[in-house]
Amino acid sequence: MKMNLVLALVASVAAAGLSAQAKPSPAVIAAVADKSRPEADTKRDADRKPELMLEFAGIKPGQTVADFLPGGGYFTRIFSKTVGSKGTVFAVINAPAPNATKPNPILAVAAEPGNGNIKVVEGNVGAINLPSKADVIWTSQNYHDLFLTRFKADIAVANRSIFYALKPGGYFIVLDHAAAAGAPLVQTANTIHRIDPALVRAQLEAAGFKYIGESKVLANPEDDHTKMVFDPTLRGHTDQFIYKFQRPKS
């Protein structure tokens, strides 16, 4: 009986250790605390929890990180400061449309003082081609965008291009707004900007990725998954999943 109790205790401790969130590294803490970050970004930290996100992703000084569809550069700036002068951050965006009237905002982020390690990569996000292979490729709240009608991406091609843009053993991190299980893919992406997490995992495993695990730091059980992510009653507090995948080392 005593031996059974000891074994149960050991198992409980082990399980707790696996589920516990690792403490952010000094490099990540310093990057988030960097005084050059705009106030508009720092005001979002409480909701986005960047220290925990980067620690889960395993981003370290000296690495090459690709921010896939970086938006306004919230995470791009933090990646830049985390990888430091010996690292590189690729901001991966679609080439501008011929009728575009405004430059992509990430261009201004890359031009900011101290962000010389940010390199904007313009092309077809449905089949990315990086100047060099990455240790980590990250996409935040944008995987579902590959299913937007305006992108017309072939998801199998897109995911294989991400797979080969990574170094063997490198990681792909997908953070997105959760849709209800079984929600219609294209319709859901285009109308409420969500995606069923199970579909993401299935698609990436089909592309050759190994599923490593998930973080529930941004989970919200109060979200019923039916509202548009920009709904003012929910914006910034959607139920979000964070999955970690690896390109096998061989």
Hey, what domains does the chain have and what are their CATH numbers? Answer: 39-246 (3.40.50.150)
pLDDT band at 128 (very low <50, low <70, confident <90, very high): very high
pLDDT per position as a tens digit, 70-98: 999 999 999 999 999 999 999 999 998 77
What is the chain's length? 250
Percent of the chain, pLDDT > 70?
91
H or E segment to which residue 61 belongs: none
Closest of 242, 133, 168, 154 to residue 206, by C-alpha: 154
- Amino acid identity of 167? K
Rounded distance between C-alpha atoms, residue 247 and residue 163, angstroms: 6
Cα distances (angstroms) measured from residue 187 to each of 55, 159, 211: 33, 20, 26
| Residue 152 host element (H or E) | none
For the chain, what is the radius of gyration of the CA atoms? Answer: 19
Measuring CA to CA, which residue among 215, 209, 170 is closest to residue 24? 215
| Mean pLDDT of the residues in the chain | 91
Kindly tell me if the per-residue pLDDT of 3 is higher than 80.
no
DSSP string covering 194-237: -B-HHHHHHHHHHTTPEEEEEE-TT--TT--S-S-TT-TTTTT-
| Helix/strand/coil for 99 | coil
Question: pLDDT at position 98, please?
Answer: 78
pTM (2 d.p.): 0.89
Give pLDDT, residue 21: 54
- At residue 4, the pLDDT reads 42
Sequence-ordered strand ranges (E) for the chain: 64-68, 88-94, 118-123, 134-140, 166-177, 210-215, 240-246
